[in-house]
Structure 1
Amino acid sequence: MRPQPRSPWRQRLRSRRWRLWAALILLVVSLLAVLVFLAAEYEEARDQTALEQDAATVSNDIRSNLLRNVQTLQTLYSVTPTVDSWSTPAADLLAQHRELVRLEWRDTGRRLLAHRDSLYIPDLFSYLDRAQALPEVNLACDNAVRQSGPAYSSSYFWPLRNGKGIEMMEMCLPVTRAGTPAGFLVATYSLPGMLAELTNKDLLRGRGLAFNEADGTRLALHSSVTGSRRTLTARAVLDLPGHTLLLQLQSPRLVRGLFPNVLTAVVGALSLALLSVLLLLGRDIRRRQRAELDVAEALAFRKAMEDSLVTGLRARDMQGRITYVNPAFCEMVGLSAEQLVGSGLPAPWWPPELVDEYQQRQMVRLAGQILPREGYESVFQRPDGTRFPVLIIEAPLIDAQGQQTGFMSAILDLTEQRRVEELNRASLERLQATARLATVGEMASLLSHELNQPLAAIASYASGTLNLLEPPQGAEAAVAPVQAELAQAMRRIGEQADRAGRVIKSVADFVRRREQAREVVTPQSLIDAIQPLLGLQVKKQGIRLQIHIAPDCPAVLCDRTMVEQVLLNLARNGVQAMPPGEPTTHSGLRLLRLEVGPLRLHSGQGPGGQAQKTWVSFSVTDHGTGLSPDVADKLFTPFFTTRAEGMGLGLSLCRTVIEQHGGALTHEPAQPRGTVFRFTLPGAA
């Protein structure tokens, strides 16, 4: 039986299916071919880009090393200022840098002062004289002068005796000393040496490197690519001051097979297959991301709150090891979080002498005996030794299961609070001192008022007694010696009563802030006024009084009574500083010295035509035990005294009196021991 012929419809359907399969296969093959071609082009472009980047890197390395050589030459000149000392360091430099074949030191006229040749090319200038390269040297130095810095000449070929040659280039560096041109340092470079010594050897392994002209002429060759494989070429410009070189880098390109590209196509197909899985995972990923975002926002909010706190936070486990600290606590103790987390007891911020006490307190807490939650004060110490008070509030740390996992502490720095309390205390003390000063002022006014009448009575009685002691007019009998001495004593009583009245009046004027009357007084008269009272006191204490007044010392313009009181107060303090029975000088004598002399004497007129002021210095020197640093700092503080019977106002009032006259009251140690009090008064015009 003959087979039935196929229907045209089926044939057309089958033909269409094959055409579809053929089109699909053709499409897949075309896609693979395009993918392989694109992959090959991409790889070649990638290799070319990488080679160009390496060429730029080699060019930058050469430029950086040339700049480093310039700095080395500058250092060579600065440490070897003379021609004789320059030769040996130059030879060492040539031995360390093989790219340099010659170093020269030329003066400002470019005459050769000194030179050294490289040991690696000993016969470099044996075939041709160095003078043949002077045009290149002059060209580089001209460019260096114009640019005020190093400059390079164009490269030139230098023949050698063995029929070969070398491409070289000159570098000229102008040098100065104290801002004045001092000549030039000329360095001769070998282009092959630059390629060999100034480049990265690992980067050039298996590659070719050369210097070429712009037209392709090869100047110097370091290495070349061997074999018949296809090579990639990259060029980079080495732009130097005064000259430009073209760097050529070659690299062989490995011919890869088809398998990596097919593998790329397989990966692409698998990527399409995984698309469905990705679609299924997309919804789960979106849900997970939403949950993670909520958790991250919550954590970020909590961390922002903890970082913004000025209160230190610290979490510890049940063994006392730190598990968390915030930035405020790290800043408080001066340690980083990495140093604190994981550390145990004893804590690094505990003062050494309090370690046992703090250790016992922590052991009680870790044993379960929780301290009250209202907090307790403690003292912390930073690594630099600074100590500061803190308030610690601690509570148990409970996890989600209700179990205690440790302790959470909040630490407050009480330094600022203590500072405010100290300021308040100091302000209160100043108010109290001001109140005492007001009371002293009132007492001074009351005493001056009450003492004026007795002093006036004393002066009156002294005057009446003198009148009775005077002989009658016309009497020829001589006054008896006893009567004369009694008259002298009564005059002294009257003078001292009058002086006491002036002192009280000056104190009253000082308390009331009235303008005091000043007069021209000689230093000798000031010393004479206090010498009788001071002489009695030093004689009683067994102290020798020494007074020296410079012959050319001018008179001073001052309130006589107040300055006499200042001198007397300083002299009495000097006497009291030397306890009886203790020798204070090398000779074994207890000595009190008063010196007066001009501090600065100017003649003529000042720059503006005005007369320049003259100052007179008064000094009181004792050889007592001296002043300790603590006492010296508080010496002029009101109500501060080192004597049980003292009020602490004498030196403060003395300084105020001297400052009202425009002068200054200072003190300094005396030699071999003791103290010198010195004050200045303006000289009379």
Structure 2
Amino acid sequence: MSEPPQAALDLPATPPAPWRRTLRALRSLWRRWFLWVLLAVLVMGLLVTVVWLAGRHEVEQVQARLDRDTADAVADLRAGLARNVQSLQTLQAAPQDPAQWGAVAAELLRGHREWLRIEWRDARFGLLHAADTPYRPEVFDPAERVEASPDLVMACTAARRQRSAAYAPSHYVPFVQPPGTAGGLEVMDLCLPLESGGYLVAAYGLRGMLGEMLGPALMRGQEVSLAETDGTRLVSLGTARRVGNRVFTAQQLLDLPGNALVLRVDGWRTAPDLFPNVLTGLVTAMSIALVSVLVLLARDTRRREQAEAELSDALAFRKAMEDSVMTGLRARDLQGRITYVNPAFCEMVGFAPEELLGASRDVPYWPSELAHEYWQRQRQRQASGDFAREGFESVFQRKDGTRFPVLIFEAPLVNAQRVQTGWMSAFIDISEQRRIEEISRASQERLQASARLAAVGEMASLLSHELTQPLAAIASYATGSLNLLADPAAAPVPAPEREDIAMAVRRIAEQADRAGQVIRSVHDFVRRRDRTREAVAPRLLFDAVLPLVGLQARKLGVRIELDVPADLPAVQCDPTLVEQVILNLARNGMQAMDGAPPGQRVLCLAAARVGGPVSAGAAARRWLALSVTDRGSGIDEATAARLFTPFFTTRPDGMGLGLSLCRTVVEQHGGELVHEPSAPCGTVFRFTLPVAGAAPALPPTETAAAPG
């Protein structure tokens, strides 16, 4: 490479003064206009992009409309072919006489221009009779249609196997009339099996099928064609393509039984203009956008100055908040909108800061039913300026729906210029404190319940101890009276009165003995002693309490119904305790009917077989269900949830121990005491007792029929 000439190397070290001034001017001009040039380039790029997207959108709309039209055309073809099959099926009911059959077939051909020929073939595909369309000269050579083609045989065989119509692949048929005519038709045969064993064959002209079933609307400005699945075009109709137009193509598969065709629609559309008609609107919009950019630049400058002034206030505000106690903090402006929440408050209520900031009336952590009350209270405090610095309690709701109590402290929020800008609130979650208080209260209640249970035990022991001797004395006096009445040397008493007095004294003795048994049973029950159980007939259990139940029933105007079948087996139980259960349930049922009309006060005592519960590892046993049904007002859900709770009662004079002790007695026998509503009104109390002796258990799904 040759060296540069010496003159080229003798350049001055610095450019002359005019060049320097020009370079400085160009540099300043570039700095000043660089952003504007960049903005202009971006706007031009945006304009080009919008125009291109508009043209692309128009093309996509044309293609989507063509796809939709093609799908609708395929649906029309399927529906038309299905209707034609139904029309062809009417020939099955046509007379077997060829002349009459031909008349019916000709009538069908006059109503279906797409059909070229209808043939009646026997079970061996032999031609019995045929009818040609009246709308065109003879298409088929009669000699060639006598024998069925292999494709037609396969289609008819498939139709017979499927018991429905089937289509043969299309084939080309040259014209035979008039002689010497060039051209032909693409034909597709439809085979329909007859119940008598033959076949009906309908020859479709594909061109006629397109023209008759699709109509002229689809052909306007478009070319519609049928092709095979490999792309071979069979027939086409419509407008031919014009030079200079853009081609839009849509294809849909026409899947027929035995033959699959493709419907193709080629649309000739003028390509969208380079600039759509909305160009003027776009230019106007871009101009407005440019002006808006200038306005935004000016506003941005002012906002920066405002941001610097607000930054100092925000830093002082944040510093004060960060230095405060570690509790939930919330700040609100003068309009009540939330402007700040700290992480402790967000964690307390379960909401993100974005969900809380800006909320004023619809605060998400307020319970919905208390939101209006909270809002009114907040407005009153803000208007009065009286803030509870000592704190006040409220209830908040977390995002998951759980509620918790909080202790709230509020104070005015003052900025760096000593101007009040809102209010600052501090929140303390006192749910743990409330939980401890609740635990303490529950412990006190349990202690009180234990004390009451101990008192009940002492009372039962005292009753059993104190009443045993008077009851024994009553029994002794009754026995002595009976002995005196039986002594012939005693004062003479008329025979009828003697019998009545003897009956009354015997009743006194029986009830005194029964009272002693009850007291001894209660005494043993309180001490949890093992009771000896015996086999007792269910009727005897009810008969033992009927005298006492009858006394109260006559007093309250209640009618007693007893439903105890005679063939029920005996139950293994402590009869005294079970009788007390029946008596307690009967008394409760009669008291539940105090508000019922006198004619509707009916108490039903019943017993029935039932499959009872069998504990794990226990021998299979049979069970009897004893029930007491009243026609009172029923039991609501709140009372039913606490019905068997000790010391819970709905009567002012009740102790709340009756049903609890009844359930305990039944469970000690291995049974279960339940209750359920009775139709049309009232309640059924039902408990189960084991049948005396071991036997296979009934299926657990069996239930006893509730009386009434």
Output the TM-score relative to the length of structure 2: 0.53
Q: 2:584 aligns with which of 569, 572, 588?
A: 569
Q: 1:521 aligns with which of 536, 548, 553?
A: 536
C-alpha distance in 2 between matches for 1:326 and 1:398: 18
- Tell me by how many angstroms 1:632 deviates: 4.2
The answer (yes or no) to whether the contact 1:332–1:413 under 8 Å persists in 2 is: no
Q: Does 1:440 align with 2:456?
A: yes
- Tell me by how many angstroms 1:319 deviates: 1.9
Sort the Cα spacing of 1:207 and 1:425 in 2 relative to 1 into closer, same or farther, 3 A.
farther
**Letter of the 2:622 counterpart:** K
- Tell me by how many angstroms 1:315 deviates: 6.0
Equivalent position SS for 2:598: coil
2:624 is matched with 615
The answer (yes or no) to whether the contact 1:239–1:245 under 8 Å persists in 2 is: yes
**Aligned residues: percent identity?**
42
* Superposition pairs of residues 26-65 of structure 1, within 5 angstroms: none
1:124 is matched with 113
The answer (yes or no) to whether the contact 2:390–2:409 under 8 Å persists in 1 is: yes
1:372 is matched with 389
Q: Does 1:104 align with 2:85?
A: yes
1:646 is matched with 654
The answer (yes or no) to whether the contact 2:222–2:238 under 8 Å persists in 1 is: no
* Superposition pairs of residues 364-443 of structure 1, within 5 angstroms: 364-365=381-382, 371-372=388-389, 376-378=393-395, 388=403, 391=406, 405-406=421-422, 429-430=445-446, 432-443=448-459
- Tell me by how many angstroms 1:485 deviates: 5.3
The answer (yes or no) to whether the contact 1:578–1:625 under 8 Å persists in 2 is: yes
C-alpha distance in 2 between matches for 1:556 and 1:632: 29
Sort the Cα spacing of 1:490 and 1:101 in 2 relative to 1 into closer, same or farther, 3 A.
closer
**Tell me, which stretches of 5 or more residues in structure 1 are unaligned?**
1-8, 14-48, 74-92, 95-99, 175-185, 258-301, 303-310, 603-609
- Tell me by how many angstroms 1:654 deviates: 1.8
**Letter of the 2:581 counterpart:** V
C-alpha distance in 2 between matches for 1:216 and 1:514: 100
C-alpha distance in 1 between matches for 2:437 and 2:73: 66
**Letter of the 1:510 counterpart:** F
Deviations 1:514-554 (A, max 9, x none): 33222222334333333443444445556555555444444
Q: Does 1:559 align with 2:574?
A: yes
1:359 is matched with 376
Q: 1:496 aligns with which of 511, 524, 528?
A: 511
C-alpha distance in 2 between matches for 1:191 and 1:398: 88
Sort the Cα spacing of 1:61 and 1:681 in 2 relative to 1 into closer, same or farther, 3 A.
same
C-alpha distance in 1 between matches for 2:158 and 2:188: 14
The answer (yes or no) to whether the contact 1:455–1:501 under 8 Å persists in 2 is: yes
Sort the Cα spacing of 1:368 and 1:557 in 2 relative to 1 into closer, same or farther, 3 A.
closer
**Tell me, which stretches of 5 or more residues in structure 2 are unaligned?**
9-55, 95-103, 121-144, 194-201, 275-317, 319-326, 613-618, 694-708
Equivalent position SS for 1:557: strand
C-alpha distance in 2 between matches for 1:64 and 1:410: 66
* Superposition pairs of residues 594-673 of structure 1, within 5 angstroms: 594-599=604-609, 613=622, 615=624, 617-619=626-628, 621=630, 627-667=635-675
The answer (yes or no) to whether the contact 2:63–2:248 under 8 Å persists in 1 is: no
Q: Does 1:585 align with 2:599?
A: yes
The answer (yes or no) to whether the contact 1:320–1:366 under 8 Å persists in 2 is: no
Sort the Cα spacing of 1:399 and 1:129 in 2 relative to 1 into closer, same or farther, 3 A.
farther
The answer (yes or no) to whether the contact 1:658–1:665 under 8 Å persists in 2 is: yes
Matched residue count: 528
C-alpha distance in 2 between matches for 1:538 and 1:253: 100
> Bigger CA drift: 553-562 or 236-245?
236-245
- Tell me by how many angstroms 1:510 deviates: 2.3
- Tell me by how many angstroms 1:148 deviates: 13
Deviations 1:309-344 (A, max 9, x none): xx9987644222456789997997999978x87664
1:262 is matched with none
**Letter of the 2:453 counterpart:** L
* Superposition pairs of residues 301-316 of structure 1, within 5 angstroms: 316=332
C-alpha distance in 2 between matches for 1:484 and 1:312: 89
Sort the Cα spacing of 1:505 and 1:393 in 2 relative to 1 into closer, same or farther, 3 A.
same
2:545 is matched with 530
C-alpha distance in 2 between matches for 1:128 and 1:571: 90
C-alpha distance in 2 between matches for 1:468 and 1:148: 104
**Letter of the 1:319 counterpart:** Q
C-alpha distance in 1 between matches for 2:685 and 2:334: 66
The answer (yes or no) to whether the contact 1:463–1:494 under 8 Å persists in 2 is: yes
- Tell me by how many angstroms 1:585 deviates: 0.6
Q: 2:487 aligns with which of 467, 471, 478?
A: 471
Equivalent position SS for 2:643: coil
The answer (yes or no) to whether the contact 1:102–1:187 under 8 Å persists in 2 is: no
* Superposition pairs of residues 98-177 of structure 1, within 5 angstroms: 103-105=84-86, 123-125=112-114, 127-129=116-118, 154-155=169-170
For the aligned residues, what is the CA RMSD?
6.7
C-alpha distance in 1 between matches for 2:210 and 2:688: 76
C-alpha distance in 2 between matches for 1:534 and 1:215: 97
**Letter of the 2:381 counterpart:** V
C-alpha distance in 1 between matches for 2:151 and 2:347: 65
Sort the Cα spacing of 1:240 and 1:571 in 2 relative to 1 into closer, same or farther, 3 A.
closer
The answer (yes or no) to whether the contact 1:55–1:247 under 8 Å persists in 2 is: no
Sort the Cα spacing of 1:415 and 1:67 in 2 relative to 1 into closer, same or farther, 3 A.
farther
**Letter of the 1:644 counterpart:** P
Q: Does 1:318 align with 2:334?
A: yes
C-alpha distance in 1 between matches for 2:443 and 2:155: 76
* Superposition pairs of residues 447-462 of structure 1, within 5 angstroms: 447-462=463-478
The answer (yes or no) to whether the contact 2:226–2:261 under 8 Å persists in 1 is: no
> Bigger CA drift: 358-367 or 634-643?
358-367
Sort the Cα spacing of 1:353 and 1:102 in 2 relative to 1 into closer, same or farther, 3 A.
closer
- Tell me by how many angstroms 1:561 deviates: 0.8
